[in-house]
Structure 1
Amino acid sequence: MSYLEQLFSLEGKLAVITGGSRGLGRGMAEALLGAGAEVILVSVDERRLQSTERELSSEGLKATSYRCDLQSVDEIERLCDFVQQEHGRVDILVNAAGVTSGWNEVLEYPDEAWEKTLKINLEAPFRLCRGMAQLMTEGGGSIINITSLAAERGVPDPAYSAAKGGVKSMTRSLAVSLGKYNIRVNNIGPGYIRTDMTNLSWSDPELRERRRQSTILKRWGQPSDLAGTVVLLASDAASYITGQDFYVDGGWLVNFD
């Protein structure tokens, strides 16, 4: 194995990825598996988890799955306990699970939508960072959180924007706190990626084209576009990178056209 191959190799590493049964999470899970990591897929949807396991297996990629409702503090604690009991450590955590509220009218915004969005998008990532970091203190590790363009620009979903802005700031704080354990913490911020979460934009031809034109590269992204970034941040190639934001957005944020 060459020096560069060693830098990016994840052989012998254990990764836990939430939202791993579909969308961005699945795409990043495939990338980590392809780089040699052992991967535990986490999702609330057990049927989809099992289906994803089978599909990955047919591609020669072996993952295991764990059902967890990220709105439940108890279930998050049980997930951390499971990883500790079964493996004794974890090397990589990717907090990819996320939801949007489905609401954009502030005057009618329901408390339930606010609470669910914050629980899944902000509170759960913190609890997982805290729990999994305890399993990284001896050997170090990499935590990768998923922020959003909504952390940078105004979008009409206050709960989602607040959660993703919180994740962005939380990541910097955790990077400072966990650096002494050689635990690196970074953000990936996807742009307009073709997943279930972007169906509203994709299904409207006018909105779909507007999103495409808003990027410098003039195309929508695919989950596979995050593969290189997640492998980089998980690997020794990023051993001197922490507390940073990596936007994979086709140039959307810097485009003032």
Structure 2
Amino acid sequence: MSMFDLTGKVALLTGASKGMGFEMAKGLAEHGATVVISSRTQEDLDAAATEINKAVGRECAHGVAANIVHEDSLQALVDKTHEIAGKIDIVVGNAGVNPYFGPIAGISNKDYERTMNANVQSNLWLAKMVAPNMENGGSMMFTSSIGAFKASDMLGVYGMSKLALIGLVRNLATEFGPQGIRFNAICPGLIKTDFARELWDKPGVEEKYSKSIPLRRLGEPDDFAGLAVFLGSDASKYMTGQALTVCGGSSMWA
């Protein structure tokens, strides 16, 4: 168990008041970490932190509202995390957006810029803010998507942003590797979250899609708790610059 022990570690997570981010935060807390969770709404964060604290039996979760598309808001989040918990050891950049469905030729400049800003640039900001204080190394993981691996006539720009995020992860892994800081991307398949509800919550869609997945089901948010613990702990201490696909087998060889 020692290789998964996160006692004394501090984790900062964006997009963590519900869904995958919440489950990753709870998993990290269950293995000893103090977690600072963030999203845009403080009320949701307070409820999520209370649920995590109750589940693990200690006061280890704290909610701090922030908007990832604003650099000053992210800096305030990082500063508040240092104030609450100290040096940050683990970062989970899970927040993202998808404001547009349709062919890439039809996207507005506003939606394109919002997608790239939230899904790529915000994670670069976060890495640059946290890395200088990771004196003894650390682990950062960012949520990409299997949409990064193929073209789409409906989710093309979203997929482009997630492929760019993998590129960001690889470059950060190269640049910060000598400091002992690891960077990895998590690439979910179709997961039953509110974020992806438009894709799965329609009559017959879940059953139809599940038939094309070797494990015969859509993903659940708690499927990512163990992965967050693995990437945040010494269990993955020689892994960096990778894109880990978690999709029930729907995107093999991607």
Q: Report the TM-score when normalising by structure 1.
A: 0.92
Aligned residue for 2:44?
48
- From 115, 125, 129, the equivalent of 1:131 is 129
Q: 1:114 to 1:78 in 2, by over 3 A?
A: same
- From 151, 168, 173, the equivalent of 1:154 is 151
Deviation at 1:82, TM superposition (A): 2.5
Output aligned runs, 1:153-232, within 5 Å. Answer: 153-155=150-152, 156-232=154-230
* Residue type at the aligned position of 1:53: A
1:220 and 1:85 map into 2 onto residues whose CA distance is 39
Deviation at 1:255, TM superposition (A): 8.4
Deviations 1:60-109 (A, max 9, x none): 35300111011111111222222344444110000011121232143432
* Residue type at the aligned position of 2:27: A
- From 19, 24, 27, the equivalent of 1:28 is 24
* Residue type at the aligned position of 1:42: S
Asked whether the equivalents of residues 88 and 135 of structure 1 are also in contact (C-alpha less than 8 Å), the reply is: no
Aligned residue for 2:68?
70
Indicate the RMSD between aligned Cα atoms, in angstroms: 1.7
Deviations 1:179-206 (A, max 9, x none): 1110011111111111001211222123
Deviation at 1:24, TM superposition (A): 0.8
Aligned residue for 2:111?
113
Asked whether the equivalents of residues 15 and 39 of structure 2 are also in contact (C-alpha less than 8 Å), the reply is: yes
Asked whether the equivalents of residues 185 and 242 of structure 2 are also in contact (C-alpha less than 8 Å), the reply is: yes
Q: 1:6 to 1:212 in 2, by over 3 A?
A: same
Question: Gaps (5+ residues) in structure 1?
Answer: none
* Residue type at the aligned position of 2:240: T
Percent identity over paired residues? 32
SS of the equivalent of 1:186 reads strand
1:163 and 1:27 map into 2 onto residues whose CA distance is 24
Asked whether the equivalents of residues 214 and 255 of structure 1 are also in contact (C-alpha less than 8 Å), the reply is: no
Aligned residue for 2:97?
99
Runs of 4 or more above 4 Å deviation: 85-88
Asked whether the equivalents of residues 147 and 190 of structure 1 are also in contact (C-alpha less than 8 Å), the reply is: yes
Deviation at 1:130, TM superposition (A): 1.0
2:201 and 2:237 map into 1 onto residues whose CA distance is 40
Q: Report the TM-score when normalising by structure 2.
A: 0.93
Deviations 1:37-76 (A, max 9, x none): 0000011121211111222233235300111011111111
1:115 and 1:208 map into 2 onto residues whose CA distance is 31
* Residue type at the aligned position of 1:165: L
Give aligned pairs, total. 251
